[in-house]
Chain A
Amino acid sequence: MSEPKMTSLQRVLTTLGHEEPDRVPLFLLLTMHGAKELGLSIKDYFSKGEYVAEGQLRLLEKYGHDCLYSFFYAPVEIEAWGGEVLYQDDGPPNSGQPFITDPSAISKLKIPDVKETPALAKVLEATRLMKKEIGDKAPIIGVVMSPFSLPVMQTGFDAYLEMIYKDRPLFNSLMEINEAFCVKWANAQLEAGATAICYFDPLSSPTIIPRELYLQTGYHVAKRTISRINGATATHMASGRALPIIADLTATKTAAVGISAAENIGEVKEACRGKLTVLGNLNGIEMIHWDRAEVKAAVQNAIAGAASGGGFILSDNHGEIPYQVPDEVLLAISEAVNHFGNYPLDWLVKDDD
């Protein structure tokens, strides 16, 4: 194999500019696998920024993919508001009982101090340590929950759906608070060294709410929030569908979209071409039992559907690869990208003939 012509960062920036880099960039969005590398439990691993920084650097070295991922787990933001986080041995931590139990609590919410709150400070620490090591060689991807999706963990899913449908004033006041927090949290990560922010917003996906409702709610939230984030964002549907709202997402000024394994990647690509970079869409759950032939087929299929002209980053469909996915599968994905992902995509042209 020849020496790569570009650094990971150059590769990613080129594709985000809708041009073809030297090869398809690969984001292995691993969160918990760093714990295995360090021989720690998931809970211990996430207790210190230095562990996560070290874990991410080792994973980058091991798999030769194209980013560092400073995401710990979604409920880190719930911890910051004083909510409960429940660890498990073989999966990501989950949020516990919703901490907003009655509507009057919303007006009394205090936005956490993003730099002082321990749960968030450890993420910033990890980001700074990664940046110190990696410099400009590879991008660091930070994560925020969108102000529109966060309430699922703040109030509980059913209560939140009822609020969206039945109590718009209350919804608006919660959004105002969450937007202020989200902007501060995203900008603190950028300041600590994150290159771009992944804006997790599955509630906006047509899998979860109809587009008409999205246009009244999550769309405006995203527009306002993204315009105040001082860096590029990728909006992730966390394996919800994206195709019906691609034009709307583009209008929020986000740079990329994480799509579902349930949609046709080629179709999504055509809707996005030249405007929005496609991130996706290997099925992380199925990945657990993939053999080499299945890895090869999945990687080829994604590249064939979305890589032409740049504007494509290969990754999983959720923005987090399950703990149970074996190292061999991850290595095989990386090998397949090195094999099929080199531009120009000659094998693809030949196949088409």
Chain B
Amino acid sequence: MPEIVDNFKNALLSSDEEGASAILDQYLLKHTPLQFVEEIVVKTLDDIGSGWENGDYALSQVYMSGRICEALLDRALPDQSGQRWHKPKMAIALLSDYHSLGKKIVYSVMRAGGFQLVDYGRVEVEELVARVTEDRLEVIMISVLMLSSALQVKEVVRRLSPRSDNLKIVVGGAPFRLDRQLWQEVGADAVGYTASDALHIASSLQGGKADE
């Protein structure tokens, strides 16, 4: 078993889409797609994410891995298959910022990890607050790249906290990585330093598993 994880990881790191796809096909002969997600994808993306944190891997590898896994999973586990985890109810947004790569990576990794989430795209504070409230979200993931955008989270927290006590505000992006106190300063409930942290956070908040 660990051998397949290693092979899969190497395929992702060298951005070998065909290799990764062949491993999936092989695996599906004896297992379910959801097992592939749980046993292989999540673990591998997690390793690559923490490897980036430590300086062992590069962002381009995190990006390509996320994209490849997302494509594989879209094939093996289409949205309508009923096997994706729909809980908690969550969305991801790029707040007041023009740098969408971080959000895109987190979105890919979350979907590759079997989660379903809405993509709000790029939003300003006003719109974000309105949509989160209207959609009665349980988790909102906010991605930023500029410090000035990170500081906008304060306003989001100030306006959302009186309304929704079930809501968790999760933040991430370069300024939060560079200043490890910043997430608390802006009043977020949690922070992720890599895209795979988003998986852990979502899993820990997960009320129910896949819809049967």
Contact = CB atoms under 8 A, between A and B. Distances in A.
Interface stretch (A21-29, A178-186, A281-289, A301-309): A281-289
Interface stretch (A48-56, A110-118, A157-165, A345-353): A157-165
Scoring B97, B100, B179, B181 by chain A CB atoms within 10 A of each residue's CB, the highest score goes to: B179
Nearest to B52: A207
Given A158-B104, A165-B15, A285 B182 contact: yes
Contact of A90 (B15, B58, B99, B148): B148
Interface residues of B, number: 27
Given A283-B178, A285-B178, A324-B147, A209 B98 contact: no
Interface residues of A, number: 35
A94 to B, nearest CB: 5
A213 interface: yes
Interface of A: 86, 88, 90-92, 94-96, 156-158, 161, 164-165, 206-210, 213, 239, 241, 244, 261-263, 283-286, 288-289, 322-324
Contacts of B98: 86, 94-96
B55 A158 contact: no
B164 interface: no
Contacts of B147: 91, 285, 322, 324
Given A94-B146, A157-B99, A206 B179 contact: no
B36 interface: no
Given A90-B148, A96-B98, A206-B55, A161 B60 contact: yes
Contacts of B60: 161, 164-165, 208-210, 213
B72 interface: no
B188 interface: no
5 contacts: A91-B149, A165-B60, A206-B58, A286-B179, A322-B147
A235 B100 CA distance: 26
A91 B174 CA distance: 15
Contacts of B185: 289
B64 A165 contact: yes
B178 A209 contact: no
A324 B149 CA distance: 12
A95 B99 CA distance: 9
A161 B63 contact: yes
B101 interface: yes
A164 B148 CA distance: 30
